[in-house]
Amino acid sequence: MIIERIETNIESMEKEEVIRRHIEKVYLESSLLMKRIQRVKTDHGREIGIRLKESRELAVGDVLYMDDRNMIVVDVLADDLLVIRPRNLNEMGTIAHQLGNRHLPVHFENNEMMVQYDHLVEELLKELHVPFTREERKVKQAFRHIGHSHG
C-alpha cells in the first residue's frame, strides 16, 4: 500500500467515527515526521509506503488510511528530553539565549521548554541553576533546525 495523501487527523474526527474503527498505528521517531517519502511498518506488521504529494509534514494523529472498519494512524515514539522550567523571565531569557547560540531546536509547552537530550546542555543548566528534568516524552512535531547564518 502506498499513501499519497493524509485522510484527516484523528483529533478532528467525531468520537463515534473513531470508536467504530479498528486502529493500527505507525510509530515514528519524531525526526521522521518531516519526511514526506518513507517506508514504515504498522504495529500489526503491515508495510506501507508513504509518498505525500502535498508539501507537508506528518503529525501525530494523521490518518494515513481509513475505510468503514479500519484506519491507520501516525503516532510518535518518546524522545529523550531535557524539560526546562525557568522560574522567571530573566532565567527564561538567559537559557533561551544560550540555546539559540547553540542553534538547538526548542519546543515550548505550557511553561516548559523542551530540547532533545544533550549532555553539554545538561551541564549548562546545572551551572546556571536552572530547574530541569530529563524525561522520556512524546512530542507532536519534529524538532526542527531553522536555517540561519551569521554572515
pLDDT digits (tens, 9 = 90+) for 70-112: 999 999 999 999 999 999 999 999 999 999 888 888 888 888 9
Write the pLDDT tens digit of every residue in 115-124.
Answer: 999 999 999 9
Give residue 148's pLDDT. 47
Q: In the predicted model, is pLDDT for residue 10 greater than 70?
A: yes
pTM greater than the 0.95 cutoff: no
81, 137 Cβ separation under 8 angstroms? yes
| pLDDT value of residue 145 | 58
Q: Candidates 1.10.10.10, 3.30.565.10, 3.30.70.790, 3.90.1150.10; correct CATH number of 79-137?
A: 3.30.70.790
16 φ/ψ sector (left φ>0, alpha ψ -120 to 50, else beta): alpha
Identify the pLDDT of residue 149. Answer: 47
Domain layout of the chain by residue ranges: 2-76, 79-137
- Do 95 and 131 contact (CB within 8 A), yes or no? no
Question: What are the cell numbers at 129?
Answer: 541553576
Q: Report the alpha-carbon distance of residue 115 to residue 80 in Å, rounded.
A: 9
pLDDT at 151 over 70: no
Provide the strand spans (E) within 19-131: 22-28, 37-41, 47-51, 62-66, 70-76, 79-84, 107-109, 112-116
Q: Output the CA angle 108-98-91, nearest 5 degrees.
A: 65
> What is the predicted pLDDT for the residue at 55?
86
CATH 2.60.260.20 matches 2-76 = yes
Q: How many CA atoms lie within 13 A of 107 on its CB side?
A: 18
pLDDT in tens, 18-77: 999 999 999 999 889 989 899 999 999 999 999 999 888 899 999 999 999 999 999 999
